[in-house]
Structure 1
Amino acid sequence: MLNKLLLSIRVPRRLLGGINRYLHEIPLSKDRYGIKRAPFSSITDKDIQHFQNILPVQNQILLGPEETTGYNRDYFRYVRGLGTIVLKPRTTNEVSAILGHCNKRRLAVSIFGGNTGVCGGSIPVFDEIIVSMELMNRIEAIDEYSGILVCQSGCVLEQLEEQLSAKRMIMPLDLGSKGSCQLGGNLATNAGGIRLMRYGNLHGSVLGLEAVIADGTVIDLMSNFKKDNTGYHLKRMFIGSEGTLGVITRVAIACPTATTTQNVLFLGMESYEAVLRTFLESKIRLGEILTSCELIDRVSLEVTVEYLKHAAPIGNFPFYMLLETTGNKKEHDDEKVREFLEFAIGRGIVADGVLACEPSKVEKLWQLRERIPAATYSNNFCLTYDLSLPLERFYDIVPAMRERVGHLVKVVCGFGHIGDSNIHLNIAGDVLTNEVQQLVDPFVYEFSRKLNGSVSAEHGIGLLKPKYLSYSKSAEAIALMKQLKVMMDPKAILNPYKVLV
Structure 2
Amino acid sequence: MACAVVLPSCAMQCRRALCKRWLHLSGRKSMASSAHLHIPPMLSKPRQRRRQFHWTTGYRSRDVEFTHVRYNVQRLGFAAITTEDMAFFNDLLPGSVVTDPDILEASNVDWLRTMRGCSQLLLRPRITEEVSQILRYCNSRNLAVNPQGGNTGLVGGSVPVFDEIIVSTVQMDNIISFNSNSGVLTCQAGCILENLNNYLEEQDFIMPLDLASKGSCHIGGNVATNAGGLRLLRYGSLRGTVLGLEVVVTALRRSWIYSRNPKACWVKFSLRLSSWITVAERLFASTLNYKTHCKALWALRERITEALVRDGFVYKYDISLPLERFYEIVIDMRNRLGVRAKRVVGYGHLGDGNLHLNVVSPAFDQQLLDSIEPYLYEWIAQHYGSISAEHGLGFKKKNCIYFSKPKEAVDLMQQMKAILDPKGILNPYKTLPSFTRSTH
TM-score (norm 1): 0.72
1:402 match: 334
Alpha-carbon separation, structure 1, partners of 2:280 and 2:390: 26
2:141 match: 105
User: Given the alignment of the two structures, is residue 72 of structure 1 paired with residue 108 of structure 2, yes or no?
Assistant: yes
Q: CA deviation at 1:404?
A: 2.7
* Aligned residue type for 2:320: S
User: Given the alignment of the two structures, is residue 439 of structure 1 paired with residue 371 of structure 2, yes or no?
Assistant: yes
Q: CA deviation at 1:327?
A: 5.6
Give runs of aligned pairs for residues 477-492 of structure 1, distance below 5 A: 477-492=409-424
Q: CA deviation at 1:25?
A: 2.8
1:251 match: 269
1:236 match: 258
Give runs of aligned pairs for residues 425-464 of structure 1, distance below 5 A: 425-464=357-396
| Partner SS, residue 71 of structure 1 | helix
Q: Is the Cα–Cα contact under 8 Å of residues 61 and 106 in structure 2 kept in the other structure?
A: no
* Aligned residue type for 2:283: K
Say which structure is richer in helix.
1
Q: Identity, % of aligned pairs? A: 42
User: Given the alignment of the two structures, is residue 330 of structure 1 paired with residue 330 of structure 2, yes or no?
Assistant: no
Alpha-carbon separation, structure 2, partners of 1:161 and 1:19: 30
Q: Structure 1 pair 327/203, CA: closer, same or farther in 2 (3 Å)?
A: farther
Give runs of aligned pairs for residues 234-313 of structure 1, distance below 5 A: 234-237=256-259, 239=260, 241=261, 244-254=262-272, 256-257=274-275
Q: Deviations over 1:360-391 (max 9, x none)?
A: 22111112222111111112311111111111
Alpha-carbon separation, structure 2, partners of 1:327 and 1:31: 56
| Partner SS, residue 407 of structure 1 | helix
Alpha-carbon separation, structure 2, partners of 1:256 and 1:69: 42
1 or 2 for the larger relative contact order (CA 8 Å, sep ≥6)? Answer: 2
1:360 match: 292
Say which structure is richer in strand.
1
Q: Structure 1 pair 163/254, CA: closer, same or farther in 2 (3 Å)?
A: farther
- Of 118, 124, 132 in structure 2, the residue corresponding to residue 96 of structure 1 is 132
Alpha-carbon separation, structure 1, partners of 2:250 and 2:204: 38
Give runs of aligned pairs for residues 16-55 of structure 1, distance below 5 A: 19=58, 22-55=60-93
- Of 161, 164, 176 in structure 2, the residue corresponding to residue 125 of structure 1 is 161
Alpha-carbon separation, structure 1, partners of 2:341 and 2:281: 46
| Partner SS, residue 141 of structure 1 | strand
Q: Deviations over 1:15-55 (max 9, x none)?
A: xxx946x3343221112222111111111111111101110
1:146 match: 182
Alpha-carbon separation, structure 1, partners of 2:276 and 2:164: 42
Number of residue-to-residue matches in the alignment: 377
Q: Deviations over 1:70-103 (max 9, x none)?
A: 0000111121111111000000000011001100
Q: Is the Cα–Cα contact under 8 Å of residues 171 and 256 in structure 1 kept in the other structure?
A: no
- Of 393, 405, 413 in structure 2, the residue corresponding to residue 473 of structure 1 is 405
Q: Deviations over 1:364-422 (max 9, x none)?
A: 11122221111111123111111111111111111222123231231111111122211
* Aligned residue type for 1:184: G
* Aligned residue type for 1:462: G
Q: Structure 1 pair 469/357, CA: closer, same or farther in 2 (3 Å)?
A: farther
Q: Is the Cα–Cα contact under 8 Å of residues 61 and 113 in structure 2 kept in the other structure?
A: no
Q: Is the Cα–Cα contact under 8 Å of residues 173 and 195 in structure 1 kept in the other structure?
A: yes
Q: CA deviation at 1:329?
A: 4.1
Q: Is the Cα–Cα contact under 8 Å of residues 244 and 258 in structure 2 kept in the other structure?
A: no
Q: Is the Cα–Cα contact under 8 Å of residues 388 and 454 in structure 1 kept in the other structure?
A: yes
Alpha-carbon separation, structure 2, partners of 1:415 and 1:356: 27
* Aligned residue type for 2:93: L
Q: Deviations over 1:294-315 (max 9, x none)?
A: xxxxxxxxxxxxxxxxxxxxxx
| Partner SS, residue 340 of structure 2 | coil
* Aligned residue type for 1:246: A
* Aligned residue type for 2:163: D
2:250 match: 214
| Partner SS, residue 158 of structure 2 | coil
* Aligned residue type for 2:369: Q
Q: Structure 1 pair 358/24, CA: closer, same or farther in 2 (3 Å)?
A: same
Q: Structure 1 pair 186/176, CA: closer, same or farther in 2 (3 Å)?
A: same
Alpha-carbon separation, structure 2, partners of 1:84 and 1:480: 34
Alpha-carbon separation, structure 1, partners of 2:183 and 2:61: 45
Alpha-carbon separation, structure 1, partners of 2:338 and 2:77: 43
Q: Deviations over 1:249-296 (max 9, x none)?
A: 23333455485xxxxxxxxxxxxxxxxxxxxxxxxxxxxx6xxxxxxx
Alpha-carbon separation, structure 2, partners of 1:24 and 1:181: 23
Q: CA deviation at 1:169?
A: 1.2
| Partner SS, residue 319 of structure 2 | strand
Alpha-carbon separation, structure 2, partners of 1:39 and 1:258: 54
Alpha-carbon separation, structure 1, partners of 2:364 and 2:416: 37
State which drifts further: 144-153 or 379-388. Answer: 379-388
User: Given the alignment of the two structures, is residue 167 of structure 1 paired with residue 185 of structure 2, yes or no?
Assistant: no
Q: Is the Cα–Cα contact under 8 Å of residues 150 and 253 in structure 1 kept in the other structure?
A: no
* Aligned residue type for 1:247: C
Alpha-carbon separation, structure 2, partners of 1:438 and 1:431: 14
User: Given the alignment of the two structures, is residue 185 of structure 1 paired with residue 203 of structure 2, yes or no?
Assistant: no
Alpha-carbon separation, structure 2, partners of 1:400 and 1:66: 43
Alpha-carbon separation, structure 1, partners of 2:217 and 2:410: 28
- Of 134, 137, 155 in structure 1, the residue corresponding to residue 173 of structure 2 is 137
| Partner SS, residue 194 of structure 2 | helix
Alpha-carbon separation, structure 2, partners of 1:66 and 1:420: 40
